[in-house]
Amino acid sequence: MWRSRKLWIAVLAVPLLLIAADTLYWFIAKRNLEDGVAAWVAQARVEGWTITTGKSEAGGWPVAATLSVPAVRLQGGDRDILGGLTWTAERLVLRVSLLRPRILVVEPQDEQQLRLSGNPAVAFTASHMQAALPIAEPWPRFANIGVTDLRMAGDLATVGSLRVHLDFTPEAHANQPAIGLTMVTERLGLPPGPARALGAYVESLVIEADVSGPVAPGRTVTDQAKAWRDAGGSLNIRRVALQWGSLDLTAHAKLMLDDQLQVAGDGSVQATGYGEALDALASHGGISRSGATAAKAVLSLLASNPENGGPPSVDVPLTLKYRTLSMRQVPLVRLPELDWP
């Protein structure tokens, strides 16, 4: 009888001990999360940012430690962004899984608003928006961002899905990747007007790129840009794949800043459906009709026709110099000047 009773006590004690251990683990993770958020807010305020929030609520037990923060408002960045940045969210949820305690998940929820460089604020919502990054390092080595069904107010733009992976290497030297980017976007809805020259939706857009280092510190964005240029910094676009209306395009390029801090570089494009795309761009004022006619004439000479009878394709070099994008010395479009703060 006594042995049977001890067995039952042990059977009951094990889950109780597990619950107690999980509760203690959750409490420690919650406290670490609260302390980390408080330290980040304090540092941001020292750097000139204004941050206001409502009263946060802890939760998530037994699988995670969460902080639900209402009425979030972040404002600042005047030194780096002309006119600054203001971002608000009805709610921000911070989560650390007890099974993955080194990864912080950030989830803005409900309506958000973003104002950049003194422009009017843009309101938007998403059925799902999440960023995940490591928290046990002075600077995160990576970040993963996912967005589903994003909609800007007034149907300014929509995004069916967006997946972004970022890699950070702050100690990178010249010609070494300091920031790596992989982005996959599907069903990107465009605002009415010239932006819809090739169709209301971009079916898919894939970008693989990296920014070579070092990303130098500076008092202003202009100082940082000059230092980055002088150190041989460049944007290496390893691959762009775009499907938009009749246009099926892949490209790669290497871009840098010239002596006037304007973007310059060269690359190449492989495309089908280019004739219809050029006509559509010209009819919507994206390029001049003479530029479209000249580009089509050159492309027709370079085009190859697949043996299976598919649409003709071209593989042509592009050059960006003095804000003019050219194809085999044929000017296509004049880009606006970058006005650095």
pLDDT tens string 269-310? 999 988 888 888 888 777 788 878 888 887 887 888 777 767
Question: How many Cβ atoms are within 10 Å of 26's Cβ, its own excluded?
Answer: 21
pLDDT of residue 289: 84
User: pLDDT above 70 covers what percent of the chain?
Assistant: 90
Structure tokens at 19: 């619950």
Q: In the predicted model, is pLDDT for residue 214 greater than 80?
A: no
Distance CA 159, CA 155 (A): 11
Q: In the predicted model, is pLDDT for residue 2 greater than 70?
A: no
Lowest mean pLDDT among 90-104, 105-119, 130-144, 211-225: 211-225
Distance CA 167, CA 177 (A): 9
Distance CA 125, CA 311 (A): 39
Q: In the predicted model, is pLDDT for residue 11 greater than 70?
A: no
pLDDT of residue 81: 66
pLDDT of residue 139: 75
| Average predicted confidence (pLDDT) for the chain | 86
pTM check: above 0.75: yes
